[in-house]
Structure 1
Amino acid sequence: MPELIEVEDAADPRLADYVRLRDVELRKSLEAERGLFIAEGEKVIRRAVTTGYPVRSVLTTRRWLPGLADVLGGARVYLVPEDVMAGIAGFAVHRGALASMARRELPDLKTLLTEPPGTARGTAGFDAAGAGPRRVLVLEDLVDHGNVGAIFRCAAALGVEAVVLSPRCADPLYRRSVKVSMGAVFAVPYARMYDWHHGLAELRDLGFRTLALTPAPAATPIDEVALGPRVALLLGSEGDGLSSRWLREADEAVRIPMSPQAMSLGVDSLNVVAAAAIACHGLMRGAPAGR
């Protein structure tokens, strides 16, 4: 049974994990220092727990407790009045509960890309026959947490098996990313690429063909490109797109064809989330059997 603790004061130090949830810079430093992230709402909390993230504590009101009781085990649960809940969070918590979850250690890039798909960690070596993930997204400098969360949701829905983040990418476990993804950030394994300069060469050494998504007219339409057994699709930042270095070093530039009407209106590209969804669907063409 959960350990239930009644709290009446929003300034109670026991609630320190939940302070100023809208302050991005504060939350970045606080969550990194304490090794935690915040999950919001019954569905997201449930998904975090069932995928193996330990619960540090839960903050909720009495009316929302029954929906979570079966997954909380012996977790510490702070019960607060409705007005105190909103005061602590700084916004109305429409999904009824917040949970402070312990982060897990991320795999390094090689481990992520050489383990069997669907495992959190692995010891399997690279197998030319296809032991590791075969369809991967690589995000370069996407700094909007909502976009990162939405792309993880696209990846989970469309069969992408892993995500690689450049050093400056937003944190997938930041509260907004988790919320927008509806917990998909827990389902799709990911790692950070700390050596941005040589990152694409490392992907190539692991057997991946790298495709750079760009609106450039000279790029190959994504539904015509030769995919191969292992493909890493590169997506660039919301405004500037991929860096010139990655565009140069990718094996091939690919694009999502726009309709003639769109081109006449000056619309030559989609936002990064819409582009990711279409491109992820395109990656499934020619995917190896047994996915």
Structure 2
Amino acid sequence: MRIEKVADADDARLGDYRNLTDVALRRVLEPAGGLYIAESAKVIERALRAGHVPRSVLVQDKWVDDIAAILGERDVPVYVTDSATAEQITGYAVHRGALAAMHRPELPDPAEVLRGARTVVILEDIVDHTNVGAAFRAAAGLGADAVLVTERCADPLYRRSVRVSMGTVFQVPWTRLPAWPAARRLLDEAGVHVAALALADGATDLHVFAADRPERVALLLGSEGDGLSRAALRAADSVVTIPMAGGVDSLNVAAASSVALWALAHPPR
């Protein structure tokens, strides 16, 4: 690594780290520039273990030794600054000490991601990066083999998604799906049963579905406000609902993914 001290928040070398609170700007800059931002030493380490390549690291003075241990012999510029300057650069207090501008890996073909996967999570048009990150963390922790996201779903490699996932976006194979019904054809070719989590007349209770789950199944979850699209519901092989109490009709989408994955992994006997 190459340590370069930085004292000026306007330093031209730091363009990748500016205005990170502006979601619209980052959506344009990161995919177009082939970059994403990894935040905290733990997340950076998990990204490197997954084979992702850093372009640079921005770190506060007291975290330099931790980053040095993670980067090893990699020839990467490490911009070292104080906490006040880091906040001026990014637009927020960098409590976790380090940020890395990472090159985005090329997304794999959906057929490759599905190959051999027994339990899959499909996220349709979820716009909240926190929910995306939480769903990935649930997928990693509760045994999903893959995550598929639709074209309009929030970016799993956006800084907030990565942070909330605790870096598990690097652990679970994932890619983007084409629009329905092309996505349905891919799932058919892979022999995957699509179970939509939704409120609908005649829906199957989750515990009943889990007791006799298909060998290969994809849990299909929809956006926070409107739920699943009509096209997604038409593409589903079955509709599954989580029984609720207390007058509550549904759970947050990330919570629903956790409950459904746990149920599939622990079917009633």
The amino acid of 1:52's aligned partner reads G
The C-alpha deviation readout for 1:249-273, integer Å capped at 9, x for no partner, is: 31110011113xx13xxx1111111
Moved more, 172-181 or 245-254: 245-254
Q: SS where residue 224 of structure 1 aligns?
A: helix
d(CA) in 2 for partners of 1:218, 1:33: 44
Question: CA shift at 1:217, angstroms?
Answer: 5.1
Q: Residues 44 and 183 of structure 1 are in contact (CA less than 8 Å); yes or no, is this contact kept in structure 2? A: yes
TM-score by length of 1: 0.87
* Higher RCO (CA-CA < 8 Å; seq separation 6+): 2
d(CA) in 1 for partners of 2:264, 2:175: 20
**Corresponding residue number in structure 2 for 1:209:** 193
d(CA) in 2 for partners of 1:25, 1:57: 22
Q: Quick check: 1:103 aligned with 2:104?
A: yes
d(CA) in 2 for partners of 1:285, 1:109: 27
Q: Quick check: 1:272 aligned with 2:253?
A: yes
Question: CA shift at 1:195, angstroms?
Answer: 3.1
The C-alpha deviation readout for 1:10-64, integer Å capped at 9, x for no partner, is: 1111001111101111111111122110011111111111111111100012111
The amino acid of 1:28's aligned partner reads R
**Corresponding residue number in structure 2 for 1:119:** none
Instruction: List, as ranges, runs of 4+ consecutive aligned residues in structure 1 with deviation greater than 4 Å.
Output: none
**Corresponding residue number in structure 2 for 1:194:** 178
Structure 2's unaligned 5+ residue stretches are: none
Partner residue of 1:148 out of 132, 136, 156: 132
Q: SS where residue 170 of structure 1 aligns?
A: coil
Q: Residues 180 and 231 of structure 2 are in contact (CA less than 8 Å); yes or no, is this contact kept in structure 1? A: no
d(CA) in 1 for partners of 2:101, 2:191: 38
Q: Residues 221 and 228 of structure 2 are in contact (CA less than 8 Å); yes or no, is this contact kept in structure 1? A: yes
Q: SS where residue 36 of structure 2 aligns?
A: strand
**Corresponding residue number in structure 2 for 1:128:** none
Structure 1's unaligned 5+ residue stretches are: 115-131, 287-291
Q: SS where residue 208 of structure 2 aligns?
A: coil
Partner residue of 1:174 out of 147, 153, 158: 158
**Corresponding residue number in structure 2 for 1:289:** none
The C-alpha deviation readout for 1:211-251, integer Å capped at 9, x for no partner, is: 00013352101111131210011000001111122213311
The amino acid of 1:56's aligned partner reads R
TM-score by length of 2: 0.94
**Corresponding residue number in structure 1 for 2:238:** 252
**Corresponding residue number in structure 1 for 2:49:** 50
Q: Residues 167 and 196 of structure 1 are in contact (CA less than 8 Å); yes or no, is this contact kept in structure 2? A: no
Question: CA shift at 1:285, angstroms?
Answer: 4.0
Q: Residues 121 and 219 of structure 2 are in contact (CA less than 8 Å); yes or no, is this contact kept in structure 1? A: yes
d(CA) in 2 for partners of 1:208, 1:24: 34
Q: SS where residue 215 of structure 1 aligns?
A: coil
d(CA) in 2 for partners of 1:247, 1:283: 20
The amino acid of 2:254's aligned partner reads V
The C-alpha deviation readout for 1:98-157, integer Å capped at 9, x for no partner, is: 11111100101111112xxxxxxxxxxxxxxxxx11100011100111100000000000
**Corresponding residue number in structure 1 for 2:35:** 36
Question: CA shift at 1:82, angstroms?
Answer: 1.8
**Corresponding residue number in structure 1 for 2:141:** 157
Name the Cα RMSD after superposition: 1.2
